[in-house]
């Protein structure tokens, strides 16, 4: 069954279900008709029972009494002896006594109605009973042929069989038509999947018709292909952007290394100051390259692969501030950190806050000030740098986007996009805006509570 196509299985199951239903109805109809006909025969047998006086005279003359004197001519009237012998009315084939008849003869039951076969093979319905005429007690039986009943039931069986056959064939045809019609959207879906597998074209869409399960499946498939296409586009864009960003430090590294190699090959020593500058440039480019690779690794992590726990955001911010002070020793960094506990990934949240602080340190002038505040779930970082033009604000969280004024500074253009991703995973929001009086104000909001949940030790 499993080796058959779905259309064939639906057709066979429909035909089988109808066949079982038709068979059950036909059998029930046949049984009810049979019982009704037999009931009518039994009623006629009771009505045809001879009077006790007639049976007493019949007992004296036995078969000498002709047909018609003890009822209609198509009935067979008999007397039964205790030894099972029967005395049958003249002109009728005897019906041998059965165990049911002998039970009535011996007084074990008052009467019996059953089927039997006459000596000539006729199928009979027999009513056997005990009666008396004064002191004379006798056992008599009245029998009627079931030929008409059997013929009617046989014809009815053939009719029901024919109707059942037509019903099954009709059900199979209807099932095939329903399967073809109902599975047409599935066929379109299959063709689309095969087309995508063959051509890798994720822009194909399945028309959605109605609101049934097939329509929901089509909508889900369209949503899946849209997500896959978007993911592939992002992946291609990330590869292209990463290649572009990697080209600059690699070109610089190659140039500097070629200069060093040419100096060694030609024997022309590079002046000590130039050599130190050259090595410092190589070191800076390697550092930038390592930072870029780390940022790419962070962005390449699947969104669903991260473990969350209760985190003391104020402690994480304090650790990030210590790192920021090392990177900007000439800056005045002030902080007011009120307790705030959130659910997130400690390492990712620390990296996000460090990226925000690094951004402020990078654009702050020498001797400038940076204010950091954490209150009620809002973490703000305010610097006194040149600020961000309004037309550039919508792009600051895009991958590899860098302001024209910042392209000469070290960085990969991925820091703020990592911040946005981390905050989004933690259910929060982040934004940049011009600060009053100049500079930039970064605001990070994370849902949480000022006290740690009972029974949970916050991670730092």
pLDDT at site 286: 77
pLDDT at site 40: 92
Handedness of CA 397, 399, 400, 404 (dihedral sign): negative
pTM over 0.75: no
- Contact present, 430 and 396 (Cβ < 8 Å): no
* Of the residues 247, 279, 300, the one at which a domain ends: 300
Domain coverage including residue 364 = 309-449
CATH number reported for the structural domain that contains residue 286 in this entry: 1.10.287.130
Does residue 294 sit in the same domain as residue 315? no
For residue 70, pLDDT beyond 70: no
Q: Which two tokens stand for residue 118?
A: 């006459």
Residue at 207 is within a domain? no
Residue at 129 is within a domain? yes
Judging by beta carbons within 10 Å of its beta carbon (0-12, 13-18, 19+), is residue 355 exposed, middle or buried? Answer: buried
Does residue 176 sit in the same domain as residue 218? no
Handedness of CA 74, 77, 83, 85 (dihedral sign): negative
**Rounded distance, CA 274 to CA 280, Å?**
10
Residue at 392 is within a domain? yes
For residue 353, pLDDT beyond 80: yes
Q: How confident is the model at residue 305 (pLDDT cuts 50, 70, 90)?
A: very low
Closest CA to 370 of 295, 320, 409: 320
Give 137's contacts (C-beta < 8 A, 6+ positions apart).
130, 131
Residue at 390 is within a domain? yes
Closest CA to 335 of 343, 327, 324, 345: 324
DSSP annotation of 345 reads -
CATH number reported for the structural domain that contains residue 427 in this entry: 3.30.565.10
Residue at 239 is within a domain? yes
Residue at 204 is within a domain? no
Task: Please name the residue that has the structure tokens 């400038």.
Answer: 368
In DSSP terms, 125 is beta-bridged to: 115, 144
DSSP β-ladder status, 111-117 and 136-145 = unpaired
371 — phi, psi (to 5°)? -110, 130
Domain count, the chain: 3
pLDDT at site 378: 92
The pLDDT tens digits for 127-154 are 998 888 777 788 888 999 998 899 999 9
Does residue 92 sit in the same domain as residue 221? no
Does residue 258 sit in the same domain as residue 331? no
pLDDT at site 414: 67
Residue at 187 is within a domain? no
The pLDDT tens digits for 216-244 are 877 888 888 888 887 777 677 667 656 65
Does residue 329 sit in the same domain as residue 284? no
The pLDDT tens digits for 374-404 are 998 899 999 988 887 777 777 677 765 555 5
DSSP secondary structure, 64-130, as one string? GSPTTTTS-TTSEEEEE-TTS-EEEPTTS------HHHHHHHTTSSSEEEEEEE-TT--EEEEEEEE
Does residue 139 sit in the same domain as residue 166? yes
- Contact present, 111 and 130 (Cβ < 8 Å): yes
């Amino acid at each position: 069954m499993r080796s058959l196509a779905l259309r064939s299985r639906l057709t066979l199951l429909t035909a089988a279900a109808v066949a079982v239903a038709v068979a059950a109805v036909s059998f029930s109809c046949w049984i009810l008709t049979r019982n009704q006909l037999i009931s009518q025969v039994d009623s006629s047998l009771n009505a045809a029972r001879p009077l006790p006086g007639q049976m007493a005279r019949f007992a004296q003359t036995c078969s000498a009494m002709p047909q018609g004197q003890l009822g209609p001519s198509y009935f067979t009237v008999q007397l039964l002896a205790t030894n099972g012998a029967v005395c049958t009315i003249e002109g009728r084939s005897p019906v041998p006594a059965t165990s049911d008849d002998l039970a009535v003869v011996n007084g074990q039951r008052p009467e019996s109605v059953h089927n039997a076969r006459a000596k000539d093979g006729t199928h009979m319905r027999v009513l056997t009973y005990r009666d008396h005429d004064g002191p004379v007690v006798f056992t008599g039986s009245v029998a009627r042929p079931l030929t008409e009943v059997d013929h009617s039931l046989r014809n009815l069986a053939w009719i029901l069989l024919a109707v059942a056959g037509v019903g099954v064939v009709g059900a199979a045809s209807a099932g095939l038509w329903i399967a073809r019609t109902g599975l047409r959207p599935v066929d379109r879906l299959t063709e689309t999947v095969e087309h995508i597998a063959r051509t890798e074209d994720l822009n194909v869409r399945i028309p959605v018709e109605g609101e049934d399960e097939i329509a929901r499946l089509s909508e889900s498939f369209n949503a899946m292909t849209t997500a896959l296409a978007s993911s592939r586009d992002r992946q291609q864009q990330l590869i292209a952007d990463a290649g572009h960003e990697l080209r600059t430090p690699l070109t610089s590294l190659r140039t500097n290394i070629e200069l060093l190699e040419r100096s060694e090959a030609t024997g022309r020593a590079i002046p000590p100051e130039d050599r130190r500058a050259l090595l410092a440039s190589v070191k800076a480019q390697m550092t930038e390259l390592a930072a870029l690779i780390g940022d790419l690794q962070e962005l390449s992590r699947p969104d669903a692969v991260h473990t969350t726990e209760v985190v003391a955001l104020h402690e994480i911010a304090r650790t990030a501030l210590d790192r920021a002070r090392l990177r900007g020793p000439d800056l005045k960094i002030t902080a007011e950190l009120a307790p705030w506990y959130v659910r997130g990934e400690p390492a990712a949240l620390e990296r996000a806050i460090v990226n925000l602080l690094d951004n402020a340190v990078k654009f702050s002038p020498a001797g400038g000030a940076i204010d950091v505040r954490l209150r009620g779930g809002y973490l703000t970082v305010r610097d006194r740098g040149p600020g961000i033009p309004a037309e550039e604000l919508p792009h600051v969280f895009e991958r590899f986007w860098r302001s024209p004024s910042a392209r000469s500074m070290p960085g990969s253009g991925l820091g703020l996009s990592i911040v946005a991703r981390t905050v989004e995973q933690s259910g929060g929001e982040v934004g940049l805006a011009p600060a009053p009086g100049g500079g930039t104000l970064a605001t990070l909001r994370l849902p949480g509570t000022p006290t740690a949940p009972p029974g949970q030790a916050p991670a730092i």
